[in-house]
Each structure stands twice: as C-alpha cells, then as structure tokens.
Amino acid sequence: MMSSENRSDFSASCSSISEEARAKINLALHVTGQRPDGYHLLDMLVTFADHGDRLDFMQSPTDEFALSGRFGETLAGDGGTNLVLKARDLLREAIGPLAFPVRIHLEKNLPVASGIGGGSADAAATLRGLMRLWGTSLPEEALAALALKLGADVPMCLASRPLIARGIGEKIEPVPDLPALPMVLANPLKGVSTPEVFRRLATKNNPTLRLAPSLRGTADWLAAIGAARNDLEPPARELVPEIAVISAMLQAHGALLTRMSGSGATCFGIFATMAAAEDAAAALHDERSDWYFQATETVSGGA
C-alpha cells in the first residue's frame, strides 16, 4: 500500500507534462541580404535532432524554475533573461486568468549559445507545454507572432520538423521529403560571438538557397546539402580556430559530410549509419573528453 507521501508524489508525477526541446541543426545557411533595421536576411535548410533539452511543467502554489543537466549551471543566475521565463510570461499575458502558477524544470543537455537553437527550442517547448498544462491554445497567427517576439528561431522550433526558413526566419516552408540523418554533434565548448561573426562577413548578398524539386533518398539529399553552404562558417573559424579542428576530427572518424551549424561553434558530421555515428562519438570523446560530442539522429520530414 502507498504511503500518503508516496500517493502525493504519484499524483504530482501524473499531473506533470513534459516536452522535448530538440536541437536545431542548420544543414545550410545562406546570408542573402540585410534589412535597413540591421537584421540579416537568411535562407536556411533546418532539421531537428532527437537529442535536446527536456522541460517538465507542473501546477504549483507559486511560479518556480529549476535547472539540471550537464549545462544547467551555465544558465544559473541569468535572472529574467532566460527565454523559458520570457515565454511563460508572454503566454500568460496572452491567455489571462487560465494561466495558474507553474513549476518549470529545465534539464539542460545542449551547450549554451552554440548555434543549435538551445534557448529557442526551450522557449518553443515552454509554449507547447504550458498550453497543454493550462488547457488552452492560441490561434495559429497569434502564436506565431508571440514566438517571433521571443526570437527569430522560435517559430521554427515550434514546428521542430525539417523546413526551409527565409527572411529573418519567419517565412517557413515544410520539407516533407528530408530523410532522417545519423549525425554527431560536436562542440569545443568555446563561445563565439554571433554579432562579431556577422560583422566579419565578407559579403552579405550571397546567392540564395536553391534545392532541386525532386530529391529522392539520402544520397540525393547529401549531394544537395553538400552543394549548399553556411556563410557564417568562414568568419566563425577566424574567431574560433577549434571549429576547423573539430570538423577535421569528424571527417577523420568517417563523416560523409561536415559543416558548422548556425553561427557556431557546434559542427555536425553526417554518417552512413547510426552505429557509425555512435562509434565516432565514443572515439571522439576518448580523444577530447573536455569537448562535447553527441550521437543522434535527425527527425524525418514525414515523421
């Protein structure tokens, strides 16, 4: 028989809601221009990994926020700047009295400020999770506008499915034919300044992203991704030489294609099989245990 304490714990666990905040991978990122307000215009081919952060939501007498995970301490003490709290407050403002106090627990498994959308994915997961917990929803356009207030990557992370994003990231088109890709994420755990990366861009009016309308199978997609670019990688390599080192390490362990994601410093290597990715991640970790290596598989467009 359960004790009253155990019954309480069981009841609490049953009333909690969980959301995965998948890592966002820029398979390609073309800088195609710059608006008068300073925002850069981008064409991006984006997918999402099985690996990411995890958020748990539960009704509470007062608002609470807890952190754990390998990179949780990195976010400790950031006060009201955390995108999870900003997402909670914006959504509460939008839906009103239904938004009772909540306890949010963030398990931070992704490196912070690393070019794989960790904070944006956390914000998007917060919107999804709290709408479920609060038993409400927003019209699609209102939710998209709220997400964009939190950051240009948040609308993409709300979808968490393969897509092409244009403009500053708000023009989203699903890519249902993109297959799942075995992958290793790699980061030297050295920060790179996104504003400085953009400042060092040699040109900001580069060719747009163009994909053939009938890509079939992984081989076609690998060729298409290989023909694309990340225009932010050359200036990021100037700032953080370890990006070139970590890319070479992925290639040496059998990656079919390597590239930096976003503004860095995370790189990805695409492998032939998940077993090959897992073997590579283990070997890379043995070589540099102070760096971040994670085998994962991306979600398919038809998932």
Which structure tokens are listed for 216? 């079939």
Q: Is 296 helix (H, G, I), strand (E, B) or coil?
A: strand
CB count within 10 Å of CB 140 equals: 8
Query: Alpha-carbon distance 120 to 108, whole Å?
Result: 13
The number of angstroms, rounded, from the C-alpha of 301 to the middle of its chain's C-alpha atoms is: 16
Reduced to 3 states, what is the DSSP secondary structure of residue 123? helix
Is it true that the peptide bond before 265 is cis, omega within 30 degrees of 0?
A: yes
Please give the helix or strand (H or E) that residue 243 lies within, else none. helix 242-252
Backbone angles phi, psi at 138, to 5 degrees: -120, 150
Dihedral of the CA atoms 28, 35, 119, 61 (nearest 10)? -150
Q: Identify the three-state secondary structure at position 40.
A: strand
Active site residues: 24, 153
| Sequence-separated (6 or more) residues with CB below 8 Å from residue 80 | 86
Task: Give dist(CA 163, CA 117) in Å, integer.
Answer: 14
